[in-house]
């Protein structure tokens, strides 16, 4: 697959999947379960959930868990990532996750839920002036 973006239908399906994935999160401290589904340029999907820890600072966000799976599998080129919280599903990625997503695919789309339905945004527009070495 060589698509550089996704259709409304694909975005909606990706978001539904992220919401289902969120149920598998390990979030006993915050109680806030997050799921992420990453769509790679070759059509592969990588899922991630937040993984908290008793040493709070060692916790991992769902987005970065999904990226870790993709990079570990040799995939570095992404079309989109959907992020949802369990339940109502509306969430916006933290700054650290935006920086990590920017590292690989600045043009990738971020799919989240919103009052108006599914929201699709370009990651590069959500992190002006990212850090570069």
The single residue among 10, 19, 47, 63 that binds ligand THU, judged by CB under 6 A, is: 63
In sequence order, the 6+-apart residues with CB closer than 8 A to the CB of 17 are 35, 37, 45, 47, 82
Considering beta carbons, is residue 6 or 91 the nearer one to ligand THU?
Answer: 91
Show the tokens assigned to 36: 């992420």
Q: What are the catalytic residues?
A: 63
The rounded Cα 111 to chain-centroid distance in angstroms is: 8
Question: Which of positions 64-93 make contact with ligand THU (CB under 6 A)?
Answer: 83, 91, 93
**Binding range to ligand THU, per CB under 6 A, among 8-16, 24-32, 74-82, 116-124:** 24-32
R_g over Cα of the chain = 14
The yes or no reply on residue 52 touching ligand THU (CB under 6 A) is: yes
Show the tokens assigned to 21: 């994935």
The yes or no reply on residue 62 touching ligand THU (CB under 6 A) is: yes
């Amino acid at each position: 697959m060589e698509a550089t973006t996704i259709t409304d239908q694909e975005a909606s399906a990706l978001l539904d999947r992220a919401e289902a994935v969120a149920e598998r999160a390990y979030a006993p401290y915050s109680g806030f379960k997050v799921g992420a589904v990453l769509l790679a340029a070759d059509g592969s999907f990588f899922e991630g959930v937040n993984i908290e820890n008793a040493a709070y600072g060692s916790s991992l966000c769902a987005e970065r868990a999904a990226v870790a799976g993709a990079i570990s599998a040799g995939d570095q080129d992404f079309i989109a990532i959907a992020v949802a919280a369990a339940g109502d599903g509306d969430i916006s990625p933290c700054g650290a996750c935006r920086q990590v997503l920017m590292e690989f695919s600045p043009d990738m789309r971020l799919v989240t839920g919103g009052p108006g339905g599914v929201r699709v945004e370009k990651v590069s527009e959500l992190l002006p002036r990212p850090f570069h070495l």
